[in-house]
Structure 1
Amino acid sequence: MGADRALQREHTVVDDDLSLQLQVVTEELAVADDELAAQQREIDELLARELDARRTASAVVRSVPVPVLVTDAAGAIVEANLAAATLLGVPAARLVRKPVQALVPAPARSAVRDLVSAAAGSRTVGGTVDVSPRSGPDRSVRIVITGGARRLDGRSVLTWVLADATPAQGTADSESPAALHAVAALTALPVGDLSPHELLTRVAALATQAVAGASWTSVVLGDPAEPAELAADSEEAQRIDGAQWRAGEGPAATAYRDGVAVVSADLRQDARWPVLAGPAGQTPVRSALALPIRSRDLSAPSDVRGVLTVYGPEPGAFAGEVQVDRALVFAEAASALLHDLDRIAELRTTAENLTLAMRSRATIEQAKGLVAGWLGCSVEEAFEVLTRLSQDRNVKLRDLAALAVADPSRHDLRPVLAHAHERMQSRRAQESAQEGSSS
């Protein structure tokens, strides 16, 4: 009778120990689940930030010296750059949430509403309306509105490119509808969906469209003597870029080296680059305008990242400041877009690394629970066994854990793990004995 009670008590103790151990394992796995969930939220946030970078043109809006507004589908301003604030005579921060209709005189509001409605259907529309700056008389402006983009919260947005319809003498070309449409198209480029080469090729094509006198454009990343990336909108631009590369001189190389705009009235007769004159004469290119593309990475060894060069078939095509200013828009846009591409690539890499770490962590947590059950030990001891076996066998911990989780019924791992556990316990006993003898 007494033996039966003792045996019953012994079973009860064993059951209690197992129950307590199971409770501890369950609690620790719950904590691990919480940590994994937190990592997943971080990954989701990173991917959402990437999506936002791809869906918005904020970098371009801020960088270009052309008045640009971003509004919601109803015409309420959500972003404005400095040039727009200057044109409208209102600080950029105070333009946010203001309806565009409030910036135009009453007779022009119906025309603005019509433009908004037309652009809301993912179209690009243009027109001329009057605006009422905070100070000064009403003025007529050309507007190009591009629809179809969405922000992170899913809202549709419209991008407005503005230009004074009555500019100062000598600047009419800079405000041409073609130039405005090209700038508007910049803000609609699908950043993140294109490779750097594809993106820069589109920037080159838009620059040709916008700069008066230009017929061809190229973009070079890195030193033109050893380019990291080449993009051009035509074979002619590629040919003259190649001629500069072989000659070791030319407007692109000078713009990259000196970090300034370089204008050549005629490449065939420019005394600065005598070696280039002959090869240039074998192309239809006569004039050139090269602008540095500046890096936005403050830690970069040089602030010049590349060069945008527009070429024309006529001598002296880029003699005015207008052409330089318009080409500068696209050099600045290229810089902003490349910066966003870098940011997207960094976000993607971080998210991928986190995803891999999270998957490995989940597998390791599952393996810890399995091994603890197999060996009848704590989760901490199970992890130590896995770690020691990983080091002894020169196998990555995540790979060893994956073996255990892939087939919990397999028996070949258990003796190996049990042996590692015994060795660990034996080592601990020896260390404890040595500590006892030394004391």
Structure 2
Amino acid sequence: MEPEIIRDPSSPIPVDIVRTTAADGSKQDEIKLTADAKLREAINKLAEEGAASLSLMIPDAKDEVSTIKISLARDVISLLTGRGLDLQFRTVNGEITIPAASLQGASGDVTMTIQPVKAAAQTKEIEGRANQAEIVLTATGGNEVTIIGRPVQIETNLQNREVELVLPLTGMADEVDPTKLGVYVEHSGGTTEFLTGEVVPLANGKGLKFTVDHFSTFALVKSDVALTSMHKAYISGYPGGLFKPENPITRAEMAAMLVKTVEMKEAGQAIRFSDVPAGHWAVEAIAKAYRMGLKQGYADGSFKPEKPVTRAEITAIAVKLMKSAAGQRGAGFSDTAGHWAEQAILAAQAAGIVSGYADGSFRPTALVTRAEAVTVLNRALERGPLFGGADVLPVWRDVPQTHWAFYEIAEASTEHTAMPRAEGGEQLK
């Protein structure tokens, strides 16, 4: 059978979808995006209008497509990243948004294959594995989960780059309890993951939005009880079992820590810093932290990724992370009056996130160590400290249990179930 050309009549983007029918009746869609003159014109127009993304709808009114194959040519990637546009694909089985920062630095064409799991028996098998997975049992307290809608299998060569997914809340009432929703993930290597997300509007209802950087099978599930979330590790150590608690934190390291532990709306536009090349290890983290408004650059267009973070800088970040930064102000310090971060320092002081020195000073320009950095972030995020015996907590060779930040470092460097915060911190389970 001859391929059929499908176009979304409501889309301003001139993209052809080639739909083919196999001998068994199954249908496959193929989309190849190349930077031809029409697509260039459309993308440039979107950028001039201030759009945040290039959004493509892949229509399937009869729900007959079993596979969607997407190919994104290198010239399109350059065009999108140069214009700071995210790329979004919308299907009847959910939405996929690839941030411009995640496309930046791609070495070649990007490919993606999307396959909804339509067979009821296969869905039931995935549900059975989810209910046997320790990571799910931990989150539900041993209760079973039920799959909502269809699982989706996604394979791509764009690995270790953050991508946002939205799976539809099919068949659920208008009022949904997000604390009872999660995403069970089966990776191709045999590992599993359990994620939580945010309920957001979709064209035909609501969906659960979450962020991933690896792909395989995703199943949206619900539980009859509120799910226990996970506290992911957001900082790691060095070879040889070292943490180096007294080492200063650099601006690049701080950006990497923030994006691993904080979910915030990305209101800022994509940006390129003159001293953060596409191959820099933290290029994506820096771009995302900038879009979240947590890190800024300098007037000359640089970011200075290796520059150490000061006490004033991390305090300003901490106040942005606090659930409530309004209200009380601390008494202040002898050396912060008139400082650019004075108000943030006063708010953080009142909240007990930062303190000063015995001589009444704060030393806003002093550098922040790795131990101090995780302590401030933990307090701002209301995480930990994480308590437990030496047999369950990581023992860094250079961080004995007598170290003043031992339990704060454990909280930041150990993935664990997030228990309700109580006086004194969390207990590792």
**TM exceeding 0.5:** no
Q: What TM-score bracket applies, with the shorter chain setting the length?
A: under 0.3
TM-score by length of 1: 0.27
Structure with bigger helix share is 1
Give the number of the structure with larger relative contact order, counting CA–CA contacts within 8 Å between residues 6 or more apart. Answer: 1
TM-score by length of 2: 0.28
Structure with bigger strand share is 2
| Larger-gyration structure (1/2) | 1
